Amino acid sequence: MQNSIHPLADCPVSDYLLVLEPHEALRATIMALKQSFAERYECPSAVHSKPHITLLRFMQFNMLESRIVQRLDTLIKENPSFVVELENFGSFPTHTIYIEVKTKTQITELVRSLRPVQRLLKFDAEHKPHFITEPHLTVARKLLPWQYEKGWLEFSNSHFSGRFMAQHVLLLRKEAGTKKYELVKRFELLNVKRVEPKQASLFF
């Protein structure tokens, strides 16, 4: 009996992220914070990723990208824009320090609205799409024990606040064998309200 081969077996595969990004001024403030962490705790990886809140991550064949983009666009544009409030820090012991998202409800509702695309995003039984249930904005991840312990001792006693208007969602792609994510598509949310950007504040 002849072995069956997946019709896309020879096609390129990529990792994808669907994210919210803060406005430019807030991104700059958070990048400065990540840079400070990288220098103080010998953690250069902290500055490898731009500030963002992940909504969804998945692996899939590049051939399916246009279908995925079309489906995501249909789902995302039905969601209203909303305010995201950031306040203070949290952690995933013993490896990650992040900025807390104070206003989680509308983010989790947005993520829930993407569930109908789940089957299209499933690569195989071992690689299913991951829909984020605890939104957060990472400062540093994959920390060594000493980096986490010293960093969390500092950040758990520090204060941060900022906010931004979530008016669009970005789909990012990282091809196999590469480290940098590239923009695939910017999806606009329903622009039903606006808010003035709040100056981020940071106290140590």
Asked if the peptide bond before residue 94 counts as cis, ω within 30 degrees of 0, the response is: yes
Report the alpha-carbon distance of residue 10 to residue 133 in Å, rounded: 33
pLDDT category at 204 given cuts 50, 70, 90 is: very low
Query: Whole-prediction pTM value?
Result: 0.88
pLDDT of 171 reads 98
**Distance of alpha carbon 109 from alpha carbon 133, whole angstroms:** 10
Residue predicted with more confidence, 107 or 197:
107
Structure tokens, 159: 């204060």
d(CA 26, CA 35): 14
Least confident of 54-68, 78-92, 113-127, 188-202: 188-202
d(CA 15, CA 94): 25
State the sign of the Cα–Cα–Cα–Cα dihedral 170, 79, 102, 26: positive
pLDDT digits (tens, 9 = 90+) for 60-97: 999 999 999 999 999 999 999 999 999 999 999 999 99
**Any long-range contacts for 153-157 (C-beta under 8 Å, 24+ apart)?**
154/40, 154/204, 155/89, 155/91, 155/97, 156/89, 156/91, 157/204
